[in-house]
Amino acid sequence: MKLTIKDITGKDQGELEVKFQLVEGGKGTQAVHDTVVAYRAAQRMGTACTKNVGDVAGTNKKPWRQKGTGRARAGSFQSPLWRGGGVVFGPKPRDFTKKISRTTKQLALRKAMTERLRAGDVLLVDDLKLGSSKTKEFVGVLNALDLDGTALFVAHVADKNLMLATRNVPNVVLTTSDSLNTYDVLRSDKLVFTRNAFEQLEARLGKE
């Protein structure tokens, strides 16, 4: 499979042969699912916390005597039935992290990239060097590349001008090829790689 390389003005600059092995058939579908679930689970804070009966501050004194008052019997001010009392089976701090093997992550990323390549959702640009950090200049690049909807820009290294120019543009996310993950590949309508970033990703995907 070959990809057309363009410059930031939209002009063709040649082609690049995809070197990593594409995933055939239905292989890798479960790996993609497991990896995305694990990634999203890892984003959860897990800091929700409630007080049970033992955690609520209060006296151990019985609210009123057991019999003779006409009211229901009560033994504690911290009862879950009372306002300000403990919470029954409430959340406690926990770690939502799920373990995924390196092989599974590798297969998931290759599978995700394979599907995006076959769908024609991957674009290559020779470079993403901007003359300034102005958002207007970056919007001009978007128009030249005819990009609509959400887009993920993958650079070889984090360029300061590019970071500043993209941060105020809605539906655009910037990342680097060494931190690209399966969830990033799947969530945007288009993936825009610099040539160096794509070659670096190929080197990652070529490792067993």
39 lies in some domain: no
End position of a domain, from candidates 79, 95, 111: 95
Q: What are phi and psi of 172, to 5 degrees?
A: -125, 130
53 lies in some domain: yes
Q: What is the pLDDT of residue 91?
A: 96
Range of the domain at 60: 45-95
In a shared domain, residues 122 and 149: yes
The closest of 110, 117, 144, 125 to 196, measured between CA atoms, is: 125
The closest of 107, 84, 114 to 22, measured between CA atoms, is: 114
In a shared domain, residues 112 and 91: no
End position of a domain, from candidates 53, 76, 95: 95
Examine the pLDDT at 207 and tell me if it is beyond 80. no
Examine the pLDDT at 150 and tell me if it is beyond 70. yes
Q: What is the pLDDT of residue 45?
A: 94
In a shared domain, residues 74 and 141: no
Q: How confident is residue 208, by pLDDT bands cut at 50, 70 and 90? A: low
In a shared domain, residues 148 and 176: yes
What is the share, in percent, of the chain residues with pLDDT greater than 90? 75
In a shared domain, residues 200 and 108: yes
35 lies in some domain: no
In a shared domain, residues 17 and 58: no
Dist CA 194 CA 103 (whole Å): 26
Mean confidence (pLDDT) of the chain: 92
The CATH number that applies at residue 136 is: 3.40.1370.10
Do the beta carbons of residue 120 and residue 3 sit within 8 Å?
no
Q: What are phi and psi of 175, to 5 degrees?
A: -145, 180
Instruction: Report if pTM > 0.75.
Output: yes
In a shared domain, residues 195 and 117: yes
112 lies in some domain: yes
38 lies in some domain: no
Return the SS3 of 84: coil
In a shared domain, residues 113 and 74: no
Q: What is the pLDDT of residue 139?
A: 92
Dist CA 153 CA 62 (whole Å): 65
Q: What is the pLDDT of residue 128?
A: 86
**Total number of domains constituting the chain:** 2
In a shared domain, residues 54 and 151: no
Do the beta carbons of residue 105 and residue 176 sit within 8 Å?
no
Q: Which residue has the higher pLDDT, 71 or 13?
A: 71
Average pLDDT over residues 114-120: 93
Return the SS3 of 193: strand
In a shared domain, residues 55 and 109: no
- pLDDT tens column, 58-110: 999 999 999 999 999 999 999 999 999 999 999 999 999 999 999 999 999 99
- Burial degree of 143 (CB within 10 A; 0-12, 13-18, 19+): exposed
Dist CA 112 CA 118 (whole Å): 10
Examine the pLDDT at 19 and tell me if it is beyond 80. yes
Dist CA 79 CA 29 (whole Å): 49
166 lies in some domain: yes
Dist CA 120 CA 24 (whole Å): 16
CB 178: neighbour CB atoms within 10 A?
13
